[in-house]
Structure 1
């Protein structure tokens, strides 16, 4: 098993366990989206229904109260207007069967008072049907003449109005054919309201007549409909805002958790590799040093054909020592303090260090104008980034080419730097693996250079992105976080 397989092995048991059970891994964001949506919709629909019912009931009760006050005011006004002796309420005048009970009252005055009151009732606005009941539940007058003289039985609302001596109101959307008093000359189109309004005797204790009014208040219905539309729009908008806000917070939290989990796994992996590498390095350094010392001693003594083999031993020992140093450097924890670092001086130092190799391979270096900006990093680690990228460019342009470093964008919070070479480039498969630990296409390479670049950039809140095309070169885009703006700006 190679080293990359060993790195992947810690995550394999969990993956194998999930595959073995046939269950998908728990997706927090998806479950939250469904569960929160169901809860918010349930609460929103419940609030909408409660609010709608409240608006309708309050509107109906308010209309019923105004209607009752209007009818009772008309009744009192008509009684005062006719000035019939010994008759103090309109309820005593409405039942024609009671005319004989008042022989001292002018029948014409009685009929006149009753007629004026009934005319007011018949011409109430938005009225579909008006009925007046005697205490024995007989219809003594109706705007539908076919109902006059009928006895109404088993009407719960009518009975409650007589027994409780209070006004009763109810709203309906459909005509109840089983109720004999709901015989409309003009059928209602939508919502209609039924009001029972009691008329009392002079003592205010006994109900002498009950006025029933069926109304279809179009203006009130329009207002109710507009109110319901506003309620449901507000409920929908509120639910959408709450769901969107909570989903956004959970999305950000889920992403942050995923990033932290990834960092934790990477840290644990690198810690384990660091411990292993330290053990390997300590175990190899002394033997390697001993081998190199012995080879150098042999090289001084031996002057024959073995000189070439001794030289190969020394070069291979140096190569192995370089690998050990690279491995330890790439796996050590990045705990350096964040500093504000200028890019240009560090870049120039790195290019200066590779001047001879760049010149020897015929590579032209082009550095664009870099803004006077400081980024969050650490001088030594920023230099390591440029050193790794320049070394990779040298490897890719063995027969010469162009290395260009330029600034793409500078904002208040980020600055983007692009390092581009005209080398041999990478295939899609190589590009996908380029940032994986210990993957390399170099002869004798270790595959930790770009990994170290990625770790350093992410350590200081930045990011790195690769793009490459075989035969046309490779571009590395570095996104740095700005430490502070220059004072001149």
Structure 2
């Protein structure tokens, strides 16, 4: 039956977009940039809010203290002068009412009482400018004589203080030349504070005068700056620690996910290879058995020139059968439970089976003293590990050499055994590919020996490491878990 491919399938395969590889999603890099932007946004927002709070609270506190100080001075001066019919300092501050408001009181007494209060105002610490307004917004006194007698209009803060009969304070970094009341004799250098402090009549209902104080409290500014520096340093440090902590957690999670993904892909690959290999092996075993039987039969009845070819057929069939057994063994699931295995005994059994090949190959065995320990594993699987490694070492030392076996590290939980040979070694690329399935440097090898070694070691909680140099040999370190520690 002919199979005709569908046209839409051919078009899909021919499309350039269909074959172009998509760039894998980098979770760690995506998280690093997004989390950095988010944490920086939150940190800057918190810093700005905290800075504004510190400045506002400091200014409000300074304004409250200034208002309390001026009110206390006003009350003290009124009690001190003891002028009849005068109950508050606000009733004395407007010089335009000296004759009309309180007949019988000498203007000199009023001016003296007013002068003492204004002298205290003029000598307030850190003061830039002081103005006193009558209810009609006229400047009845100022530390800048050029402002006295001027009518101030369009000042929202001043109007709000008169209207709501409340203290008003604000902070500025730059003064406004357009505002008539901000005519400083000494311009401010940095932050300055504006305070409106109402003075009431004796009943506390009517504002008789409004005191405006401009201050540049240097000590307060220094404290605010130090506080802001500490706040921003704490925010930067906190944001950095949060970012590094979260990045570390995500990096570890990304690595774990990558390892799990590799294991999943590896398991899926092994399952697929196992199914294919099993099918191929079962399909080849019977033909190979028939070929070998026929060759053996021919070997018995034919003693002529074909005898050499018959021996080669039997040898190649045995070689293919050995490959099939290796392949099936390397791909079968490792579900055996871990038991305590005598490490020295398993090693000696493998070395004993290779005694003749080692001697024939001119390889000297250097077995260092080893402790009698039991490791987690299976006797047959540990023997398979040692057989594969010894066979690889023997294969790499074609001209003879030395095979050294020693324990390089031991503690309460584990022991590390190292096998070193003096063979031809491997280059960097070969080392990177050593534990990949079907990669081999041996003539006619299948490339599953080291793969099986790695699977067996990891199955029982151990690990294997390989290091090699071209022309200087190979070292394989086997890290076993001790059975006594479990």
Q: CA deviation at 1:291?
A: 2.7
Shift in Å, 1:255: 0.7
Task: Report the counterpart of residue 10 of structure 1 in structure 2.
Answer: none
Q: Please say if residues 373 and 485 of structure 1, whose CA atoms lie closer than 8 Å, have aligned partners that are also in contact.
A: no
Q: In the alignment, what sits opposite 2:46?
A: 47
Tell me which moved more, 403-412 or 196-205. 403-412
> For residues 440 and 268 of structure 1, what CA distance do their matches in structure 2 show?
22
Are positions 1:360 and 2:360 aligned together?
yes
User: Counterparts of 2:142 and 2:386 in 1: how far apart (Å)?
Assistant: 99
Cα distance change on mapping 1:21 and 1:322 into 2, 3 Å: closer
Q: Distance in 1 between matches of 2:339 and 2:104?
A: 112
Any idea what the Cα deviations from partners look like across 1:10-67, whole Å, max 9, x if unmatched?
Answer: xxx99x9889557532211111111110011001100110011011111111111111
Which residue pairs with 2:185 in the alignment? 185
**Count of aligned pairs:** 473
1:296-329 CA deviation, whole Å, 9 max, x = no partner? Answer: 3333344444443333332222211111100001
State the Cα distance separating 1:289 from its structure 2 match: 2.3
Structure 2 match to 1:25: 24
Q: Is the 8 A contact 1:405 1:417 kept in 2?
A: yes
Take 1:343 and 1:166, find their aligned partners in 2: how far apart are those partners? 91
| CA distance, structure 1, for counterparts of residue 332 and residue 464 of structure 2 | 20
Q: Work out the CA distance in 2 between the residues paired with 1:219 and 1:301.
A: 117
Check 1:414–1:130 CA distance in 2 against 1; reply closer, same or farther (3 A cut): farther
Give how far 1:210 is off: 0.5
Deviation at 1:464, TM superposition (A): 3.1
- In 2 relative to 1, CA 112–340 (structure 1 residues): closer, same or farther, beyond 3 Å? farther
The equivalent of 2:227 in structure 1 is 227
Could you report, residue by residue, the CA deviation over 1:337-381 in whole angstroms, capped at 9, with x for unpaired residues? Answer: 345555433322222221221122221122334456655544433
Contact 1:128 1:188 in 2 (8 A): yes
Deviates more, 1:421-430 or 1:238-247: 421-430
State TM-score, norm by structure 1: 0.90
Unpaired runs of at least 5, structure 2 = 1-11
Verify: 1:440 aligned to 2:443, yes or no.
no
220-229 vs 406-415, greater mean Cα deviation:
406-415
1:5 is matched with which residue? none
The separation in 1 between residues aligned to 2:342 and 2:184, in whole angstroms, is 89
Structure 1 range deviating more: 399-408 or 326-335: 399-408
How is 1:181-220 mapped onto 2 (pairs within 5 angstroms)? 181-220=181-220
1:107 aligned onto 2:92: no
Offset at 1:188?
A: 1.3
Aligned equivalents of 2:205, 2:425: Cα separation in 1: 103
User: Once the 2 structures are TM-superposed, how far is the Cα of residue 225 of structure 1 from its aligned partner?
Assistant: 1.0
Shift of 1:267: 0.7
SS of the aligned residue for 2:37 comes to: helix
Cα RMSD after superposing both structures: 2.4
Distance 1:175 1:446, change over 3 A: same
Distance (whole Å) between structure 2 residues aligned to residue 265 and residue 357 of structure 1 = 38
Output aligned runs, 1:368-407, within 5 Å. Answer: 368-370=368-370, 375-407=375-407
Partner residue of 2:76?
77
CA distance in structure 2 between the aligned counterparts of 1:383 and 1:93, rounded to whole angstroms? 111
- CA distance in 1 between counterparts of 2:214 and 2:371 reads 82
| Contact 1:461–1:480 (CA under 8 A) maintained in structure 2 | yes
Deviates further, 74-83 or 283-292:
283-292
Q: How does 1:412-427 map to 2 (within 5 A)?
A: 415-427=415-427
SS in 1 for 2:42: helix
Q: What are the residue-to-residue correspondences of 1:119-268 with 2, within 5 Å?
A: 119-268=119-268
Contact 1:374 1:485 in 2 (8 A): no
CA distance in 1, matches of 2:293, 2:280: 20
Match of 1:8 in 2: none
**Residues 226, 20 of structure 1: alpha-carbon distance in 2 compared, 3 angstrom cutoff:** farther
Inter-partner Cα distance in structure 2 for 1:340 and 1:93: 105
Structure 2 equivalent of residue 289 of structure 1 = 289
Tell me how far 1:434 sits from its aligned partner.
2.6
Comparing 258-267 and 374-383, the one that deviates more: 374-383
Give the SS at the match of 1:70: helix
What secondary structure sits across from 1:467 in the alignment?
strand
What SS does structure 1 have at the residue aligned with 2:92?
helix
Are 2:57 and 1:58 aligned?
yes
Distance 1:417 1:64 in 2: 78
Q: Is the 1:128–1:187 Cα contact (8 Å) retained in structure 2?
A: yes
Change (3 A) 1:39 1:460: farther
CA distance 1:430–1:218, change in 2 (3 Å):
same
2: distance between equivalents of 1:77 and 1:135? 23
- Name 2:5's counterpart in structure 1: none
Moved more, 176-185 or 205-214: 176-185
Q: Secondary structure at the match of 1:109?
A: helix
For 1:116, the equivalent position in structure 2 comes to 116
Q: Describe the SS at the equivalent of 2:228.
A: helix
Structure 2: distance between partners of 1:108 and 1:446: 120
CA distance in 1, matches of 2:18, 2:483: 46
Query: Residue 90 of structure 1 aligns with which residue?
Result: 89
Structure 1 position 335, deviation (Å): 2.6
Aligned equivalent of 2:6 = none
